[in-house]
Amino acid sequence: MGAPTKRERAESGNSQKALVTGCAGFIGSTLTDRLLADGFEVIGIDRFSDYYDRELKEENLAAAMQHPEFTLIEADIVEMDCFPAVDYVFHLAAQAGVRASWGRSFDIYTRDNIQATQRLLDFYATDVGASSKLKRFVYSSSSSVYGDVPLPMHEELMLQPVSPYGVSKLAAEHLCYLYWKNYGVPTVSLRYFTVYGPRQRPDMGINKFVRAIRAGDPITIYGDGSQTRDFTYIDDAVEANVAAALAAPLSGKPAFLGETFNIGGGNRISVRDLIAAIEGATGKTARIEYADEQKGDVQDTWAAAAKAEQGLGWSAKVRIHEGLRRYVAWIDGGL
Ligand SMILES: NC(=O)c1ccc[n+]([C@@H]2O[C@H](COP(=O)([O-])OP(=O)(O)OC[C@H]3O[C@@H](n4cnc5c(N)ncnc54)[C@H](O)[C@@H]3O)[C@@H](O)[C@H]2O)c1
């Protein structure tokens, strides 16, 4: 007997419909593939922003586009008045990147990160959206909301982002909370700590380092390389979304709604040690050039992991050396 068809699932009441915003991006496309594999019907929204090549995003979505349970809406959330009635919203659409968020570019960050989030939340809070069956609204936030705080970073710390990007992600977190508080939109915010792996955005460090080191090209380290990051493998970040959507309320009480959770890989290492690990994974020696520290970069990130473990039953599984090995194998495969 094969998997139930869409109609059979709809008739049995087990049809699970998900909206993934930012579905053509690094994390959104990987989550889309995972949900489809799990039998969800997925509607994806993406505006194919020009932050990086459209071609890469089309490659990200290539498998999903062949799947009968996937529908793509190419549109800008800020311009939309109506969103699909779904069981779960996974809101990943955003203008990512810390370093590009200064100056006039901040307009794009306020638009894609703050206004887009408000549009979605408001729809599911009021009008036709409020009568939909939404079970969870999972928002992709960022460790950038913390700033330079004492380590490890835990969810109750005072938040002092040091980049305009971090400010925009924090504003959207606040929107999630207030739409939960005022309208009961069942939000959960996930603060990712540097996600890496297949499809990673071209502006991100590990992607640039792995490709340059493989090719024998020089890499640039900003600062002295002693800064540390808690790296999270893509499959773990995707699993956190599924856990946040499906986690049962604790003791009959939805304790996690309106709340934020760190999603960190438990792989805190310095940039210098990361380069050494990439040298190990590629079998090549890095040619390193040093440049001034970049404004908006924090010195360290390190996730306190207990809240996600207790509240969502989630913890990271993939260690950095294994994650790098998988990522290099994916790039070696010609992708
Ligand atoms: N990658 C990381 O390490 C990391 C870390 C912390 C937080 N995050 C967050 O995770 C989410 C996904 O990040 P990513 O690395 O996959 O980024 P990405 O740039 O690969 O994907 C984001 C997608 O959102 C789309 N988008 C942006 N604004 C839109 C709008 N107004 N309407 C429709 N689509 C829109 C873009 O076209 C893009 O395809 C983002 O919210 C980001 O802030 C990522």
Ligand 1 and 98: CB distance under 6 A: no
Å from CA of 102 to ligand 1 middle: 17
Å from CA of 161 to ligand 1 middle: 18
At 165, the pLDDT band (50, 70, 90 cuts) reads very high
Determine which of 119-128, 204-213, 243-252 has the lowest per-residue pLDDT on average. Answer: 243-252
- From atom 12 of ligand 1, which residue's Cα is the shortest distance away? 92
Q: Read off the pLDDT of residues 117-135 as tens digits, 9 standing for 90 and up.
A: 999 999 999 866 677 789 9
- From atom 2 of ligand 1, which residue's Cα is the shortest distance away? 195
**197 Cβ contact partners less than 8 Å away, ≥ 6 residues apart:** 30, 233, 234, 235, 323, 326, 327, 330
Question: Does 183 qualify as catalytic in the annotation?
Answer: no
Q: Among 109-113, 251-255, 293-297, name the most confident range.
A: 109-113
Using CA atoms, how far apart are residues 203 and 136, in angstroms rounded to an integer? Answer: 31
pTM to 2 decimal places: 0.95
Q: Which residues pair with 191 in a beta bridge?
A: 141, 262
Helices (H), the chain: 6-12, 26-37, 54-65, 106-109, 116-125, 127-130, 164-183, 205-215, 234-246, 271-282, 306-312, 320-332
Residue 133 confidence (pLDDT): 84
**39 Cβ contact partners less than 8 Å away, ≥ 6 residues apart:** 3, 4, 9, 16, 69
Give DSSP secondary structure letters for 282-306: HT---EEEEEPPPTT--SB--B--H
Q: Which atom of ligand 1 is nearest to the CA of 76?
A: 32
Mutate which of 34, 47, 108, 109 for ligand 1 pocket (most atoms within 8 A of beta carbon): 47
Å from CA of 96 to ligand 1 middle: 5
- Mean pLDDT for the chain? 93
φ, ψ of residue 290 in degrees (nearest 5): -105, 145
Residue 1 confidence (pLDDT): 43
State yes or no: pLDDT of 82 exceeds 90.
yes
Using CA atoms, how far apart are residues 22 and 74, in angstroms rounded to an integer? Answer: 10
Give the residue among 236, 255, 251, 257 at the shortest CA–CA distance from 316: 236
Å from CA of 252 to ligand 1 middle: 33
Q: Which residues pair with 17 in a beta bridge?
A: 41
Mutate which of 73, 123, 142, 241 for ligand 1 pocket (most atoms within 8 A of beta carbon): 142
- From atom 39 of ligand 1, which residue's Cα is the shortest distance away? 25
Q: Tell me the mean pLDDT in the region 14-23.
A: 90
Mutate which of 26, 59, 201, 263 for ligand 1 pocket (most atoms within 8 A of beta carbon): 26
Higher pLDDT, 265 or 158: 158
The amino acid at residue 153 is M
Å from CA of 11 to ligand 1 middle: 34
Q: Using a pLDDT cut of 90, give the percent of the chain over it.
A: 87
Percentages of the chain per state (helix, strand, coil), in multiples of 5:
45, 20, 40
CATH top-level class of 14-193+233-265+303-316: alpha beta
Q: Which residues pair with 41 in a beta bridge?
A: 17
**Spatial contact of 196 and 231, defined as CB atoms under 8 Å apart:** yes
Query: Which residue in 88, 139, 146, 165 is the catalytic one?
Result: 165
